Amino acid sequence: MSGYFKDIYAGISTALVGMRITWNHLFVKNVTIQYPDEKHDIPERVRNRLYVNMDDCIGCDQCAKACPVNCITIETAKALPDEELGETSTGNRKRLWVTQFDIDIAKCCFCGLCVPPCPTVCIFMTPVFEFSEYNREDLIYRFSTLTAEEGAVKTANAERAKQEAEAKKAAEMEAKKKAAAEKAAAEKAAAEKAAAEKPADEPSTAPDQSDAPATGTAPTQSETPTPDNNG
C-alpha cells in the first residue's frame, strides 16, 4: 500500500519540477526569433554560397585547381589578335574568353580554398545561405556571360587560329630546312668544281719520301765489326 502512494508522490513531484521550470521561464523575454521574418546577423567571415564577378575573371583556372572536390569547371578560348577584351579592375589584361564557368554548389564543401589563389579577386564567398532547390541541376551555377552558341564560336575561332599558326610554323621550318639543303648542295658543288679545275701538274707540297734517309733498318753483318779475340 505504501508503494502505491510513493508512486503517486513521485509522479506528482516530477510534474511539479517540470512546471516549475516552465513557470520560471514564463515571464522571461523570449530568446527565439520569428524566422524567416527575423534573422540573426551572420559573422563577417562566414563561408556560404560562392559568387564570381566575370568582369574581373581572366580564366586562369587557379580556383578550379585549388578546389578539393572538383566542383568548379572552367573552359577558355584564346582571343584573336583583333579582339580586345579589356582589363580587370585590378589592371590585369584579359587574353582568354571564358566560355564556361560552372560551380556545382551541391558538391561544394565551403572550405574557401578557391578564394585566395584568384589573382583578380573575382571569386568570393557571399552571406547567402538559403539556396535549397528541389532539382539538383538547379544547384549548378553558370557564371559565364557567353551563351553556348557564342562559346562554341569562340572555341572554333581559337582552334582555327591555332591550326593556322601551327601550319605557318611548319612551313617556316620546312623553308629553313630547304634553304639549308640548297646551301649545302651549292657548297658541295663549288668544292667539286674547284677540285676539277685544279691543274694536274701543280707541284705537290708534300716532301719526297725517296730522298729521305731510311730509318729503322738493321745494319748488315758485314758492316758490323767483329772483335779479335787474339789481339
Residues 64, 108: contact at Cβ < 8 Å?
no
Domains of the chain by residue range: 50-147
Sheet holding 140-142: strands in order across? 72-78, 96-104, 140-142
Residue 74: phi and psi, rounded to 5, are -130, 130
Model pLDDT, residue 57 = 94
**The model's pTM:** 0.63
Model pLDDT, residue 23 = 83
For 98, half-sphere exposure in the C-beta direction (CA atoms, 13 angstrom radius) is: 19
Model pLDDT, residue 231 = 40
Please report, as a single letter, which amino acid is at residue 206.
A
* Widest pairwise Cα distance in the chain: 166
What is the CATH code of the structural domain delimited by 50-147?
3.30.70.3270
Distance CA 144, CA 53 (A): 9
Q: Report residues of the chain scoring pLDDT below 70.
A: 1, 199-231
The angle at the Cα of 89, spanning 84 to 93, to the nearest 5 degrees, equals 35
Please report, as a single letter, which amino acid is at residue 28.
V
* Strand residues in 50-194 grouped as ranges (E): 50-52, 72-78, 96-104, 123-125, 140-142
Q: How far is CA 218 from the centre of its chain?
A: 81
